[in-house]
């Protein structure tokens, strides 16, 4: 009975930023669970590559080129996906940016706006567009990718702009959950630790001392892998998490225990 709740057969899932890293892992996890997966990614070459890879695994996969910072484009993409597939059951808001290691006093308007445009505004445009369809259906699950940085202040790298954007994601998640819970739409978030993806290369590959600090501050003594976050996303998107809404699930290797 429990394992049946993890199956996603017949459902349609949209994953933003699905061309690499956590997004690609989420697309694969949801697809392996039976969902039809639509990868929404800004770079067309990434869309083509990941859709091809997913299809080789036997996953029903499709792709759409999308810049989540453009609300009109998000609305159009949502309408087209619903027209083609009839519904949207799952939305994973993974599209995000993290150009860290910039002090607050050196943060330009453009740098601040860049992170808010993608991490907060783009995420909300997607919640709004696909959430409307879910509300009409009377059912849906949204999983936002937040960060442990929405709970703590990272060290040694300064990144006030990023931390603020992810804290906003967490509170937006709770706010939408409160509004939409009685109407059948669950909204949760995952708050990962450092995950080995292109976004963390500045620390893992390019700054050994910074990487050492990250590991020393993590009780498990390691960074995470994309599939470890995808597993949590799969759970939250499934009926196994039917009572969960407004939850921010920390997947941080114990980082916030200290």
In DSSP terms, which residues pair with 91 in a beta bridge?
14, 142
Q: Residue 105 burial by CB count (10 A; 0-12/13-18/19+): exposed, middle or buried?
A: exposed
Going from the N-terminus, what domains does the chain have, and what CATH number goes with each?
2-250 (3.40.50.720)
pLDDT at 134: 99
Q: pTM of the predicted model, to two decimals? A: 0.96
pLDDT at 127: 99
What is the spatial distance between Cα 232 and Cα 234, in angstroms, rounded to a whole number? 5
DSSP sequence for 30-53: HHHTT-EEEEEESSHHHHHHHHHH
pLDDT at 188: 99
pLDDT at 99: 85
At 5, is the secondary structure helix, strand, or coil?
Answer: helix
CB atoms within 10 A of CB 27: 33
Residue carrying structure tokens 């009572």: 243
- Number of Cα atoms under 13 Å in the Cβ half of residue 27: 34
Decide if 255 is catalytic: no
3-state helix, strand, coil in the chain (%, to 5): 55, 15, 30
SS (H, E, C) 68-121: CCCHHHHHHHHHHHHHHHCCCCEEEECCCCCCCCCCHHHCCHHHHHHHHHHHHH
What is the chain's pLDDT, residue by residue, as a tens digit (258 residues)? 889 999 999 999 999 999 999 999 999 999 999 999 999 999 999 999 999 999 999 999 999 999 999 999 999 999 999 999 999 999 999 999 998 889 999 999 999 999 999 999 999 999 999 999 999 999 999 999 999 999 999 999 999 999 999 999 999 999 999 999 999 999 999 999 999 987 676 667 778 898 999 999 999 999 999 999 999 999 999 999 999 999 999 999 999 998
Find out whether 234 and 61 touch, Cβ atoms under 8 Å.
no
The encoded tokens of residue 79 equal 């309408």
Let me know the angle formed at the C-alpha of 237 by 235 and 243, rounded to the nearest 5 degrees. Answer: 80
Find out whether 246 and 187 touch, Cβ atoms under 8 Å.
yes
The catalytically annotated residue of 162, 194, 211, 255 is: 162
Closest CA to 253 of 216, 209, 201: 216
């Amino acid at each position: 009975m429990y394992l049946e709740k993890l199956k996603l057969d017949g459902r349609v899932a949209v994953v933003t930023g699905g061309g690499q890293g956590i997004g690609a892992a989420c697309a694969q996890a949801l697809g392996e669970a039976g969902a039809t997966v639509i990868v929404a990614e800004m770079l067309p070459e990434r869309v083509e590559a990941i859709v091809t890879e997913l299809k080789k695994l036997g996953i029903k996969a499709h792709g759409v080129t999308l810049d989540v910072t453009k609300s009109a484009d998000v609305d159009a993409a949502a309408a087209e996906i619903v027209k083609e597939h009839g519904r949207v059951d799952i939305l994973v808001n993974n599209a995000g940016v993290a150009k860290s290691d910039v002090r607050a006093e050196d943060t330009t308007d453009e740098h601040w706006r860049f992170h808010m445009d993608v991490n907060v505004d783009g995420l909300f445009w997607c919640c709004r567009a696909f959430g409307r369809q879910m509300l009409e259906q009377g059912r849906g699950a949204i999983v936002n990718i937040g960060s442990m940085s929405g709970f703590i202040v990272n060290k040694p790298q300064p990144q006030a702009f990023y931390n603020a954007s992810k804290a906003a994601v967490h509170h937006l998640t709770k706010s939408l959950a409160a509004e939409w819970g009685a109407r059948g739409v669950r909204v949760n978030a995952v708050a990962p630790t450092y995950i080995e993806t292109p976004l963390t290369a500045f620390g893992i590959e390019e700054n050994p001392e910074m990487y050492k600090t990250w590991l020393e501050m993590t009780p498990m003594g390691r960074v995470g892998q994309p599939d470890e976050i995808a597993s949590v996303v799969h759970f939250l998107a499934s009926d196994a998490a039917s009572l969960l809404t407004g939850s921010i699930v920390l997947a941080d290797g114990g980082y916030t225990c200290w």
